[in-house]
Amino acid sequence: MKKLILLLLSGMFLSFCSRVDLKSPKDSFFILVKLSSSNKRNGKDYIKLWVNDSLLFKGPYFTNYIEETEENIDDVWGMEVATLSKKDNGDSIKIAIRLIALDNQSFGGKKVIDTTFKYRIDNIPGIAISYPREVGHFSVFDTINAPGYWRIE
- Terminal-to-terminal C-alpha distance of the chain: 39
Distance CA 114, CA 99 (A): 7
Give SS3 for 121. Answer: coil
pLDDT in tens, 12-47: 554 544 433 333 346 889 999 988 767 778 889 999
Residue 104 pLDDT: 86
What pTM was computed for the model?
A: 0.74
CB 97 within 8 A of CB 48: yes
pLDDT in tens, 83-140: 998 888 888 999 999 999 998 888 888 899 999 999 999 889 999 999 887 778 899 9
Q: In angstroms, how far is CA 136 from the centroid of its own chain? A: 17
- The CATH code belonging to domain 27-150 is 2.60.40
Among candidate residues 123, 110, 42, the one with its CA nearest the CA of residue 79: 42
| Exposure class string for 16-27: b at 16+ Cβ within 10 A, else e | eeeeeeeeeeee
Domain edges within the chain: 27-150
